[in-house]
Amino acid sequence: MDRSFIYVGVFTIAVVLTFAWVTEIVTNISGLGGVQASVEGVNPEAGEALYWGIAKCSTCHSMDTRGSAIRGPNHEDGYITAGDRAAEIGLETPTEYFVRSIAYPEEYVVEGYKAEMPEVYLPPISLQPDQVRAIITYLQSQGGEPDPSAIELPDVILDAAGSAGEAEPFAAYADGNAARGETLFFDLDGQAGCASCHTFDGKGGDVGPELTDEATVRPLQYIIESILFPSAVIASGYEPVLIRTFDGRTLNGVLRAEDDVSLTLVTKEGEEITVSKSDIDRRGEDPPSLMPDNFGDLLTMTDFHDILAFLTAAFRAEQEQAEEPAAE
């Protein structure tokens, strides 16, 4: 009975992915809305607080040596870099590039990265127009002069301003026991064993992406899809590499380091293996994800709900806190 529910969920999500995700998997997801910080003004200081705070930019981006995210480009001297990119694609100014890459992130993917950036003006982040403007002034200050008057937001951002309170259509999937979900997540001998590869709140492995803030950045549908169909979208920096050596070994893992002489892979068990390039017969760059693709078989309905409840618990707590009336 439990597993049949999982299969119904798999079928439902597969249908949604087939007809909706190809065009706008993230853009059409309604959510409960991101937690809004009490940051005021359109200026670099407010933008910096948002960048490193509720906007969750640092989940994917770094700024010079600050931060360690690898999913998106480093924003050091971002204004200068944006100017170069703007010139390459026919935009007039770096600010226009900032605006359009935030409004239409899938159309402005930097070479070497994937189309992973969410529409931050939609749930679950749900930035308001002035918050988007503030972040852009912060990016302008990285090698340029902040100029709020140069920021003209398109309707796609302005019209989304009221979406923060909409209902999350996949919320029922996360209506479970978060405490039990935490146990399942960190139980390395259990059916899930998520922590063998993923870190949450400073604990766990580092073979796969850090998941602490994932629910505050990605819609719930994206998280569900990532669990049930892990090879559909593999996070940048965690793509598996398949190696065949001349002595007949087959090695599969995430590329951790590489130079002219050798490369180092991390296997799904967390083992680091260094291979001399002179020993490599064949190298494949597009094998399936290291994450198992049979969680629909391994997990019961209760397991599935509880793990999702755990992954989203912090985000829900932030929302509830934000919805509480301010103290007199």
Full-prediction pTM beyond 0.85?
A: no
- Residue 274 half-sphere exposure, CB side, CA atoms within 13 Å? 6
Q: In this structure, how many other beta carbons lie within 10 angstroms of the beta carbon of residue 141? A: 18
Q: CB under 8 Å to 198, separation ≥6 — which residues?
A: 204, 205, 207, 208, 209, 210, 211
Phi, psi of 193 (to 5 degrees): 60, 35
1 beta partners: none
The distance from CA 89 to its chain's CA centroid, rounded to whole angstroms, is 26
Separation in Å, CA 192 to CA 21, 206, 211, 308? 26, 16, 15, 12
The answer, yes or no, to whether residue 145 has pLDDT greater than 60, is yes
DSSP strand pairing (272-276 vs 280-284): unpaired
The answer, yes or no, to whether residue 35 has pLDDT greater than 70, is no
Side chain identity, residue 242: L
Look at residue 14 in the predicted model and tell me its pLDDT: 47
Q: pLDDT tens-digit profile of 197-224?
A: 999 999 998 898 889 888 878 878 888 8
Rounded to an integer, what distance in angstroms lies between the CA atom of residue 172 and that of residue 315?
A: 15
Three-point CA angle 324, 170, 32, nearest 5°: 25
Rounded to an integer, what distance in angstroms lies between the CA atom of residue 6 and that of residue 173?
A: 10
Question: What's the whole-number average pLDDT of the chain?
Answer: 82
* Mean pLDDT on 293-322: 82
Look at residue 68 in the predicted model and tell me its pLDDT: 67
All domains of the chain in start order, with CATH: 2-12+169-232+293-323 (1.10.760.10), 33-164 (1.10.760.10), 240-284 (2.30.30.100)
Residue 9 — very low, low, confident or very high, per pLDDT cuts 50/70/90?
A: low
Rounded to an integer, what distance in angstroms lies between the CA atom of residue 81 and that of residue 189?
A: 47
251 beta partners: 243
* Mean pLDDT on 149-173: 78
Separation in Å, CA 219 to CA 56, 79, 282, 307? 13, 29, 38, 15
Q: pLDDT tens-digit profile of 244-301?
A: 999 999 999 998 889 999 999 999 888 999 999 999 999 987 778 889 888 878 888 8
Task: Give me the sign of the Cα torsion angle 57, 155, 221, 305.
Answer: positive
Rounded to an integer, what distance in angstroms lies between the CA atom of residue 122 and that of residue 60?
A: 17
Separation in Å, CA 180 to CA 3, 171, 199, 210, 228? 18, 18, 17, 20, 20
